[in-house]
């Protein structure tokens, strides 16, 4: 059994690597299917070591050659253009990374008998419905990021119908830039911090997500195409960015005050969904939803990273 992690130097790619290497996540040990699994890591640029190989997912010929050379059972695609405002400013690049790249992977996976798990986002939905959205909710993205990610989902499903697509949201991990690290820094530097208070979502610890992705893949190996298509996997519970920030400060023992501001006042270039709450219905109805309540997963993260005061 051999896996390929693309976008391996990103938040999820690094966390998936760590979980596979250690054989455990905070939720539980990883599924026994992945004990001693061999895995390859690629990213757009190599890191100068033999740890991570270079593979640009937008280069179709390179993707074909890579899959032809290495006999791979599963590709987990963690590569993407994830900067929402950056995508708005550069839609061509967003389309290449979020739609063409996944299509290249899907085409090659189909040709070489490899199964693809592709990671997607809550931003494919409109984000204006306060009810948690299950996998069958009609997508209606409002941003270039969301539109290109939806294109990616649709191309993956059309070109490699056995693929598994996992949508997540509000992701943070020990590697890379994310809201938890940003708040930790700002909370130490300032007596008060302005944070948006009218967007709702479910913070997701990448350690939990990595574990759950490996569970889905193990089940997919058992049941075949029954596991294909879209899955939602986010931390349990719902909050707002300002309440998330307050929880981070509380857990870290920081006294900085969080002052709520509206999305309008904040004025980001790309629109942000007011309601980004995904319902992990498919997990619940099949293998079980082990994603922890977001506060519990955050507390583990703060402890593990030594962020407490």
Ligand X SMILES: NC(=O)c1ccc[n+]([C@@H]2O[C@H](COP(=O)([O-])OP(=O)(O)OC[C@H]3O[C@@H](n4cnc5c(N)ncnc54)[C@H](OP(=O)(O)O)[C@@H]3O)[C@@H](O)[C@H]2O)c1
Between CA 172 and CA 178, with CA 176 as vertex, the angle to 5 degrees is 40
Give whichever of 36 and 114 is closer to ligand X, judged by the CB atom.
Answer: 114
CB of 133 to ligand X, least distance (A): 14
CA distance 59 to 72: 18
Residues of this chain, 101-140, that bind ligand X according to CB under 6 A: 101, 119, 121
CA distance 293 to 287: 18
Which phi and psi angles does 152 have, rounded to 5°?
-60, -45
Contact of 8 with 50, CB cutoff 8 Å? no
Concerning whether 145 is annotated as a catalytic residue, the answer is yes
Segment interacting with ligand X, rule: CB under 6 A, options 25-33, 131-139, 169-177, 262-270: 169-177
- Interface with ligand X: number of residues (CB under 6 A): 25
Residues of this chain, 5-34, that bind ligand X according to CB under 6 A: 6-7, 9-12
Of positions 163, 168, 238, 239, contacts ligand X by CB under 6 A: 168
Determine what percent of the chain falls in helix, strand and coil, rounding each to the nearest 5: 45, 20, 35
Is residue 169 close enough to count as binding ligand X by CB under 6 A?
yes
Give whichever of 45 and 223 is closer to ligand X, judged by the CB atom.
Answer: 45
Of positions 171, 220, 277, 291, contacts ligand X by CB under 6 A: 171
Q: How many CA atoms lie within 13 A of 47 on its CB side?
A: 12
Active-site residue, from 74, 145, 211, 294 = 145
Beta bridge partners of 29: 24
Is residue 155 close enough to count as binding ligand X by CB under 6 A?
no
Give whichever of 11 and 163 is closer to ligand X, judged by the CB atom.
Answer: 11
Is residue 80 close enough to count as binding ligand X by CB under 6 A?
yes
Contact of 168 with 160, CB cutoff 8 Å? no
Residue with smallest beta-carbon separation from ligand X:
10
Of positions 79, 103, 109, 155, contacts ligand X by CB under 6 A: 79
CA distance 38 to 171: 26
Is residue 199 close enough to count as binding ligand X by CB under 6 A?
no
Q: What track of x and - describes contact with ligand X for positions 84 through 103 (by CB under 6 A)?
A: -------------x---x--
Which phi and psi angles does 67 have, rounded to 5°?
-70, -30
Q: Which residues of 2-11 are buried (b: 16+ CB within 10 A; e: fewer)?
A: ebbbbbbbbb
Segment interacting with ligand X, rule: CB under 6 A, options 54-62, 235-243, 263-271, 285-293: 54-62
Contact of 11 with 206, CB cutoff 8 Å? yes
Pairing assessment for the beta strands 200-201 and 239-240 based on DSSP bridges: antiparallel
Of positions 34, 39, 66, 170, contacts ligand X by CB under 6 A: 170
Segment interacting with ligand X, rule: CB under 6 A, options 166-174, 235-243, 265-273, 286-294: 166-174
CB of 56 to ligand X, least distance (A): 4
What is the Rg, in whole angstroms, of the alpha carbon atoms belonging to the chain?
19
Q: How far is the CA of 196 from the CAs of 173, 199, 304, in angstroms? A: 21, 7, 27
Is residue 57 close enough to count as binding ligand X by CB under 6 A?
yes
CB of 224 to ligand X, least distance (A): 24
**Binding-site ranges for ligand X (CB under 6 A):** 6-7, 9-12, 43-44, 56-58, 78-80, 82, 97, 101, 119, 121, 149, 168-171, 176
Residue numbers annotated as active site: 145
């Amino acid at each position: 059994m051999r896996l390929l992690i693309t976008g391996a130097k990103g938040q999820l790619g690094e966390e998936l690597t760590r979980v596979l290497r250690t054989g455990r996540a905070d939720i539980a040990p990883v599924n026994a299917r992945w004990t001693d699994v061999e895995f390859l890591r690629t990213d757009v640029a190599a890191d100068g070591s033999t740890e991570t190989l270079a593979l640009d997912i937008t280069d179709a010929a390179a993707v074909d050659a890579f899959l032809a050379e290495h006999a791979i059972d599963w590709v987990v695609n963690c590569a993407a253009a994830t900067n929402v405002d950056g995508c708005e400013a550069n839609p061509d690049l967003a389309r290449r990374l979020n739609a063409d790249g996944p299509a290249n992977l899907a085409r090659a996976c189909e040709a070489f008998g490899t199964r693809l798990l592709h990671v997607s986002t809550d931003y494919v939905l409109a984000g204006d419905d306060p009810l948690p959205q299950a996998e069958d909710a009609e997508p209606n993205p409002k941003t270039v990021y969301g539109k290109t990610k939806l294109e990616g989902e649709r191309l993956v499903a059309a070109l490699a119908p056995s693929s598994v697509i996992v949508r997540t949201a509000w992701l943070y991990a020990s590697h890379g830039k994310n809201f938890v690290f940003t708040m930790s820094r700002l909370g130490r530097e300032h007596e008060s911090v302005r944070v948006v208070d009218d967007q709702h979502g479910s913070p997701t610890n990448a350690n939990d997500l990595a574990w759950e992705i490996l569970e889905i893949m193990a089940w997919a190996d058992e049941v075949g195409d029954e596991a294909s298509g879209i899955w939602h996997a986010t931390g349990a519970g719902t909050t707002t960015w300002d309440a998330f920030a307050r929880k981070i400060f509380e857990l870290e023992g920081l006294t900085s005050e969080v002052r709520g501001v509206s999305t309008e006042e904040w004025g980001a270039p790309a629109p942000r969904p007011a309601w980004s709450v995904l319902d992990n219905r498919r997990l619940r109805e099949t293998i079980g939803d082990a994603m922890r309540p977001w506060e519990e997963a955050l507390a583990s993260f703060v402890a593990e990273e030594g962020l407490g005061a």
